[in-house]
Amino acid sequence: MRPELRTSMNGAHLVIAALEAEGVDTVFGYPGGAIMPVYDALYHSSLEHILVRHEQGAALAADGYARATGKVGVCISTSGPGGTNLVTGIANAFADSVPMVAITGQVATPLMGTDAFQEVDIYGITMPVVKHSFLLRDVADIPRVMREAFRIAAEGRPGPVLIDLPKDVATAQTDLHPLLAGPQQASRAPEPAAASRAAEMIRLAEKPVLYAGGGIVIAKAVDTFRRYAEMSGIPVVTTLKGLGAVPTQHGQCLGMLGMHGTRAANEAVQNCDLLICVGARFDDRATGNLDGFAPHAKVIHMDADPSEIGKLRTADVALLGDLNKSLATLPAAAGIEAWQAQCERDKVKGAWRYDAPGDGVYAPAMLRQLSEEADDNLLLTCDVGQHQMWVAQHCQISSPERHLTSGGLGTMGFGLPAAIGAQLGNPDACVVCITGDGSIMMNVQELATINRYRLPVKIVLLDNSCLGMVRQWQDLFFDGRQSEVDLSDNPDFVQVAESFGVPAFRVERRDEVGDAIKTLLNSDGPVLAHVRIDPAANVWPLVPPGKSNSTMMEEA
């Protein structure tokens, strides 16, 4: 009997019924003792439960699902190690403002604080990395808490919410039912006086730049931003999470700014007289030395989160609230033709070259070709390391929802479970996970999840037999002392994938790349391409740590 049809149910059934009432259709998790009543309630529910092979995979898959769909992701674990294994994924969602509800089992309330088996204070452990937490002590609180958790996770600046469910609360009987969804929080429009000042600054600017961040996709303001960018004619630079706010191949897009940004983007920001920051937070990887960032510019800062305004860079004008409403108040720029021409010249001058010498696979060229040959149905998930920056620099990205990457936390192991969540949320998308030999080993067990659910995820594994980004920094800034970065004893990744039931093949030469891309894009099911690349290859350009973005190291 379905939970919502019962006249009486226990707390666990009420939790499942509340998830169904919120419109949840997919949850990610791993069972265990304290959460077992919830798994019993799942048995006859309408929810599709995805059994991952590690709780971190559950949280990161829920994160990928949320980013790709715009819905709240849901993950479930048991108490103790089940909850602590979720923490990295919860922190990842917090750093990147991803809506998530994490439900953890807990020992029965009489045992709490007694060091009972598999008891940890997950409420306290996660407090710095959640938007809000709930510890349920009474079954009567479940309807309100479930409703509140989803509202808090999704409204304003999104983020993860933790619900800790003691086992005795889960088994307590009740005749309660889920609450109906309440009214949405009204979106806030900018103050008229601030909007007027911002408009005047844009009219007077001679060298304006639009600085696009991940808040644009969170606010569902991509279309509005694109309309304004094209109407205004202002050159656009993006953060890592803002890539695709305008398509990366668009004429106004100068690329990503910051540590591994394009020269054209960094020079535009350094030379501009007005920086219009839309949904970005002046992160250190984007700004470099903050004292030298955009030194000649006045700043208009647009964000939904008041805590970001003035946190790192003082704003001359703050437009607080809904980005759609704020963008609608801005006028076109005037008399910036010389500035547009200068930015275009810098963009052409700094265009990427793909004619690297040798017969080996040149990763940037392969990634560029892959994104060019795929259609707009391509959805990229990315791990962390050199390959993450190569994707950001070289792949054509049509929209931010099509490029899922761990930005704020920089979580190795994000790519594979995020691809699982993205594929389940977008069954018709061509989901491609770009990973490295270091990152894939963090959550390699999720190949079993891909096989179990026959998810058609494509995996491009760039193998340089080392921790490439750490090795690059050690070579450049630690006098070449390569400390603990050697991964030359990697397993045979083709055999590993095949042992999990995922077909795989190897790519070692440049002349094999074209056929490899065709195989990846035309495969009906999952497939892994193990691509060997040069262990000495570096990501260029690079702004050295502590330097301003005007100081860019390039390949000798």
In order, the DSSP letters of 109-145 are: GGGTTTT-TT---HHHHTGGG-SEEEE---GGGHHHH
Report the pLDDT value the prediction gives residue 179, as an integer from 0 to 100: 85
Q: Compute how many other C-beta atoms are within 10 angstroms of the C-beta atom of residue 512.
A: 17
Q: Compute how many other C-beta atoms are within 10 angstroms of the C-beta atom of residue 462.
A: 28
**Rounded Cα–Cα distance for residues 440 and 458 (Å):** 13
Report the pLDDT value the prediction gives residue 4, as an integer from 0 to 100: 45
167, 207, 241, 458: the catalytic one is: 167
Q: Which residues contact 353 (CB under 8 A, 6 or more apart)?
A: none
Question: Euclidean distance between the first and final Cα of the chain, in Å?
Answer: 69
- Mean pLDDT computed over every residue of the chain: 95
**Sign of torsion, CA 291 293 298 302?**
negative
The topology under which CATH files domain 10-174 is Rossmann fold (3.40.50)
The topology under which CATH files domain 363-532 is Rossmann fold (3.40.50)
Length of the chain: 556
**Rounded Cα–Cα distance for residues 232 and 393 (Å):** 25
How far lies 255's CA from each of 81, 236, 238, 481, in Å? Answer: 42, 8, 6, 32
In the residue annotation, 231 being an active-site residue is answered as: no
| Percent of the chain residues past pLDDT 90, beyond the cut | 93
Dump pLDDT digits (tens) for 347-372. 999 999 998 899 999 999 999 999 99
Single-letter amino acid code for the residue at 31:
P
Contact 47, 38 (CB under 8 A): no
55, 119, 308, 401: the catalytic one is: 55
In order, the DSSP letters of 141-161 are: GHHHHHHHHHHHHHSSS--EE
Q: Compute how many other C-beta atoms are within 10 angstroms of the C-beta atom of residue 252.
A: 20
146, 259, 469, 552: the catalytic one is: 469
In the residue annotation, 118 being an active-site residue is answered as: yes
In the residue annotation, 167 being an active-site residue is answered as: yes
**DSSP at 162:** E
**Rounded Cα–Cα distance for residues 485 and 498 (Å):** 26
Name residues of the chain where pLDDT drops below 70. Answer: 1-7, 181-186
Report the pLDDT value the prediction gives residue 182, as an integer from 0 to 100: 66
**Rounded Cα–Cα distance for residues 221 and 216 (Å):** 5
Residues of the chain with CATH 3.40.50.970: 10-174, 363-532
4, 20, 118, 342: the catalytic one is: 118
The percent helix, strand, coil of the chain (3-state, each to 5) is 40, 20, 40
pTM: 0.95
In the residue annotation, 249 being an active-site residue is answered as: no
Report the pLDDT value the prediction gives residue 351, as an integer from 0 to 100: 92
Contact 265, 256 (CB under 8 A): yes
Neighbour-count burial for 394-427, b at 16+ CB within 10 Å, e otherwise? bbbbbbbbbbbbbbbbbbbbbbbbbbbbbbbbbe
In the residue annotation, 55 being an active-site residue is answered as: yes
Residues of the chain with CATH 3.40.50.1220: 192-349
**Rounded Cα–Cα distance for residues 389 and 382 (Å):** 9
The topology under which CATH files domain 192-349 is Rossmann fold (3.40.50)
